[in-house]
Amino acid sequence: MGEVSVNGSGPSGEVTDTKVLRRAFGTFATGVTVVTVGGSVAHGMTANSFTSVSLDPPLASVCVDQDAIMHTNLTAAGSFGVSILAADQEDVARHFANRWRPLGMAQFEQVSWEPGRLTGAPLIAGAVTHFECELWRSYGGGDHTIFLGKVVSLYRCSDDDVLVFINGRFRAAAVSNEVST
Ligand SMILES: Cc1cc2nc3c(=O)[nH]c(=O)nc-3n(C[C@H](O)[C@H](O)[C@H](O)COP(=O)(O)O)c2cc1C
């Protein structure tokens, strides 16, 4: 607690300690997704940077490390799928974050999935929501690229509890259907 990582002060202060930065970013709780592309560049990657961006047009973004295989494959595919993982899918999240997993379609052999109807991107069975996106724009974001996708299909699969990532750990978040007033 109370770690100081800013050299100098004010707008020109520079954050230099990436471990401290990573830990600070990690205090922001997120859902967990698997971003996928299909066809000849089939690939999947666990991502918690998925964010809703716009309702009209319907846009969502994901930030991908420029060194990730997904960066090359998503750029080549021009479309992608997003599966928002359920609370019982931590093993799926760990699998698609494991850099030693097989490449190509072999990495999908140990999970159930179905191809997206519009993009062919593998969509993970048991996820709470599936999206298919066409790549709309991409923006440089330091060592990552911000891929903005136009949502072309969505399917709300279940009301199951969802997987959450916080402080470097997976947690389950109960989804209440009670309407708040
Ligand atoms: C919970 C979690 C969330 C992650 N989110 C992202 C992300 O949003 N963007 C990213 O580039 N990597 C993210 N990663 C790391 C990648 O999943 C991991 O580096 C993966 O092996 C990269 O795959 P690739 O190089 O085969 O495409 C995340 C990892 C975990 C465990």
Tens-digit pLDDT profile for residues 98-140: 999 999 999 999 999 999 999 999 999 999 999 999 999 999 9
Helix or strand holding residue 25 (H, E): helix 18-25
Query: Considering the domain boundaries, does residue 31 fall inside one?
Result: yes
Query: Considering the domain boundaries, does residue 11 fall inside one?
Result: no
First to last CA, the chain: 36
Pairing, β 113-115 against β 79-84: unpaired
pLDDT tens track for 55-73: 999 999 999 999 999 999 9
Mean per-residue pLDDT for 153-167? 97
Query: Considering the domain boundaries, does residue 8 fall inside one?
Result: no
Tokens of 72: 């090359």
Which has the closest alpha carbon to 111: 88, 80, 77? 88
Q: Whose CA is nearest to atom 10 of ligand 1?
A: 64
Q: Whose CA is nearest to atom 14 of ligand 1?
A: 47
Q: Which pLDDT score, from 0 to 100, does residue 8 have?
A: 36
**Total number of domains constituting the chain:** 1
Residue to probe by mutation, ligand 1, list 30, 36, 37, 46, most atoms within 8 Å of CB: 46
Tokens of 9: 């002060």
With a cut of 70, say whether residue 7 has pLDDT above it.
Answer: no
Pairing, β 79-84 against β 122-124: unpaired
* pTM for the predicted model, two decimal places: 0.93
Q: Which pLDDT score, from 0 to 100, does residue 2 have?
A: 60
Q: Which segments within the chain are labelled E, that is strand?
A: 6-7, 14-15, 30-31, 33-37, 43-47, 51-54, 59-65, 79-84, 113-115, 122-124, 129-141, 144-156, 162-166, 169-173
Three-state DSSP at 121 gives: coil
CATH number of the domain that residue 89 is part of: 2.30.110.10
For ligand 1, is residue 164 a contact (CB within 6 Å)?
no
Amino acid at 132: E
Query: Considering the domain boundaries, does residue 4 fall inside one?
Result: no
Query: Considering the domain boundaries, does residue 180 fall inside one?
Result: no
Query: Considering the domain boundaries, does residue 78 fall inside one?
Result: yes
Query: Considering the domain boundaries, does residue 68 fall inside one?
Result: yes
Q: How far is CA 134 from CA 3, 95, 124, 158, 176, in A?
A: 41, 25, 18, 24, 31
**What's the gap in Å between 45 CA and the centre of ligand 1?**
6
Contacts of 57 (CB under 8 A, 6+ apart): 136, 150
With a cut of 70, say whether residue 179 has pLDDT above it.
Answer: no
What residue numbers bound the domain in which 123 lies?
A: 18-172
